[in-house]
Structure 1
Amino acid sequence: MSLKLSLLCLCVFSTYTALSLHLNHENTSNNDSNKNPQKLLIILVDGFRWDYATRASKGFSTIARNGVKAPYVTPIYPANSYPNWASIVTGRYAEHHGFLDNYVYDSAEKDFFLMGTNANSSHIHWWNQSLPIWTTAEKNNVSTAMYLWDGCQVPIDGITPNYCLKYHSVSDNMEVANNETRAHIKTILDNFSNNKHRLALLYHEYVDHIGHSWGPETINVTNAVIGIDQILQELYDEIKVRKLDNELNVVIVSDHGMVQVDGFKKIHISQFVDFNNDVEMLLGGGSGAQLNPKPGKEDKIFNALNKLEGIKVYKRDDIPDEFHFKHNKNVFPLLVTVDLGYDMAVPSSPGKVYPGGESGISPYPPTGGRHGYDRHVTDIRAIMYAFGPALKANFVSEPLDMVDHYNLFCHILGIVPSPNDGNESKIMKMLK
């Protein structure tokens, strides 16, 4: 055989081998979920501050001894619910997943995102900027069930989970709220036992609800903490009774902490900004807001707010990079953040201020609890506890960021993560 022909054969063989390896890798990646029997339950306890678990004595301590915990989790900016819910399930910051706050306006769609049970919260365009874990799971033949986790009702990439119980507002009665969570856990465990699902997501709102109403330093919140702690102990015990402990992993997270706002100093921005003539729209209040000035009024409003004690105002291009916020099409020209110890009161102006309030009064309670302040404030920190056969025992990780959870979910399920902003190396240290 000539040297030229030998080289040609070698080149063809090398190309074939490389292509085969690439295809085999793709097939392995796509089939990991079928080969990996691990199951996963994700529980989101809204508003559960990083140190709340010290008020309880059962579930959280049992899980910490037999699983992993983070000292704390730093929320993304802003430290509010929807932005951090989205980060938990996508591993992305707000500028990537698009949930810039609990209230968002899309000028192209002329549509408002206004949280919760509002019909507009189910419009597809809010949810399709990043793929959540349940969409990726279903694409990998991982059957998924979701309970009260908003977004499960929306077809993302044309896919919805196998089962979705849409979000509804939580009961004011602790026994009713906790028993609903218990009932959902029983159903989830039944379906895990019957191999109906491999992934389930459950949302528990009561701790956050009471935190807002009374404040984190009250007995009311302590009772709410003890309630979910008891539920988690029951869950841990029931998993062993059902002999699911060799296949079921449980990850408990929260979206943010809570600060007691009694006595915070009010800033009535309507005393410094002409809402009638200069403002197109304001979204937020209390701990922060986005503001859209009328044409030609941006500098006037910026200069007025920039002089005030207790707040910081940024033009869109000057928003700090560490916020991971400004590179999204729905960001307003001005961002206002509020320092801890202050409360930004917004005027009532239907069609202009969302959510709005009585004239000159913040829509947020003057007492009780609030979040949304600087995500590095200690009381804003969140939690992560986890246990199961994929995880180490009695292991304390380094502090996490909210975007880190997503990679943990994907590793447990054996599916290839979508592009994300998380730190995978932190997660790998938790796994056996």
Structure 2
Amino acid sequence: MPNHWTLVTGMYEEDHGIIANKFWDPVWNKTYQFSTESEWFNNTEPVWITAEKEGKKTGAYMWAGNEATYDGQTASIVIPFAYNAEFEDSMEVVVQWMAEEEVDFACLYTDQPDSDGHKYGPNSEEVKERIKAIDKVLGKMMDEFDTRGLTDEVNILIASDHGMTDVNSSKMINLGAYIDFDADIEWSYLSAIGLIIPKPGNLDEVYTTLKDAETTETHMKVYRKADIPDDLKYKNNRRITDIVLVAEPGWLFAKSATYKTSLLGNHGFDNKNSDMKTTFLARGPDFKCGYTQDAMRSVDLYPLLCELLQLETCHSSRGWTNNTQNLLSIEPCIPVAGGTVISSTVVPIFTLIFFLTTKLI
């Protein structure tokens, strides 16, 4: 969830405030958990709202935060999230938007192969087969764009909000061996990270206990909020808790030794780990053909979208246009229509995300 919002705002979690799939707001005295309420998202304007304000028509299909309103405004077309939505059906709808609804910008989210990655593991045969199926749908989409005469009119960007690594019940960090959650902890969220709010008066004791546990529990790092490394971009927000735990990739936090995860794949670890990296692909009249580069950051996608849409009022972001300028072509580059755009040998792209934007003039 957090990086979905980063991709369309160009801001880090500490900026836009969606800091995890579940978190506590100490001012509002309430918990966020996959909420669609506007108040959680209104801190930062997504690109589709900026585009709407500048007279463009947009669509947001199953995207986190797409139901939020900004002074009563949403994307022109909003499709709420639905579990187990068929990717091919979703894609057909978005192609129709571009071809028949005169949509200038559309973004689409699908929960595959992310769901299969969690259930079977990122390197499983099930995930490989899912990627092949997605690949075929993408090839069909390209053919449909060609049939409708859109190949040289639409830029297609394929991105993701995270990678994934193997996990299992043998790699659980039992925090209950060090602290008493009932007696010491007011609120917590545990996964690849641990967000810990001690009960009043317990902060120093809980922190010291967990910090001391680092010497024996070598698969975690324990931070006071003020000491969280700056490169994590996860410090300067009231929703980030006084104590934050970071698990070694492949390990998960638990309250007790009896807890056993059902997951075989997960994400949310330090993004310097190679398994957390993902793939970005782009195709269309404004992109070079056959060009590759080493990396870009999630926040860099937002200014690229603003440029492709020729928006004049995009807010300042953490993204750098210099990181994406080499992707763009001065002369139109129209790839051959049809076929697949993702090889099944590519590192799996989890939680596939699609952007479709009209070309630069």
Aligned equivalents of 2:101 and 2:182: distance in 1? 59
Alignment length, in residue pairs?
A: 324
Matches within 5 A, 1:119-198: 121-170=35-84, 177=85, 180-198=86-104
Matches within 5 A, 1:21-420: 82-115=1-34, 121-170=35-84, 177=85, 180-262=86-168, 264-283=170-189, 285-306=190-211, 307-308=213-214, 309=217, 310-347=219-256, 360-361=258-259, 364-365=261-262, 367-416=263-312, 417-420=314-317
Superposed CA offset, 1:23-53 (max 9, x none): xxxxxxxxxxxxxxxxxxxxxxxxxxxxxxx
Where does the alignment leave 5 or more consecutive residues of structure 2 unmatched?
330-361
Aligned equivalents of 1:158 and 1:96: distance in 2? 23
> What's the C-alpha RMSD, in Å, of the aligned pairs?
1.6
Local SS of the residue matching 1:290:
strand
Local SS of the residue matching 1:317:
helix
CA contact (8 A) 2:122 2:166 kept: yes
Give % identity. 29
Q: Tell me which structure has the larger Cα radius of gyration.
A: 1
Local SS of the residue matching 2:113:
helix
Where does the alignment leave 5 or more consecutive residues of structure 1 unmatched?
1-81, 116-120, 171-176, 348-358
Q: Does residue 426 of the first structure (1) align with residue 318 of the second (2)?
A: no
> Counterpart of 1:387 in structure 2: which amino acid?
R
CA contact (8 A) 1:254 1:382 kept: yes
TM-score normalised by the chain length of structure 2: 0.86
Local SS of the residue matching 2:287:
coil
TM-score normalised by the chain length of structure 1: 0.72
Give the drift of 1:195: 4.9
CA contact (8 A) 2:5 2:64 kept: no
> Counterpart of 1:295 in structure 2: which amino acid?
P
Q: Which runs of 4+ in 1 moved over 6 A?
A: none
> Counterpart of 1:128 in structure 2: which amino acid?
N
Aligned equivalents of 1:203 and 1:297: distance in 2? 41
Give the drift of 1:391: 1.0
Local SS of the residue matching 1:251:
strand
CA contact (8 A) 2:224 2:244 kept: yes
Local SS of the residue matching 1:429:
helix
Aligned equivalents of 1:100 and 1:394: distance in 2? 36
CA contact (8 A) 1:397 1:426 kept: no
For 1:46, the equivalent position in structure 2 comes to none
Aligned equivalents of 1:159 and 1:183: distance in 2? 26
Give the drift of 1:230: 0.9
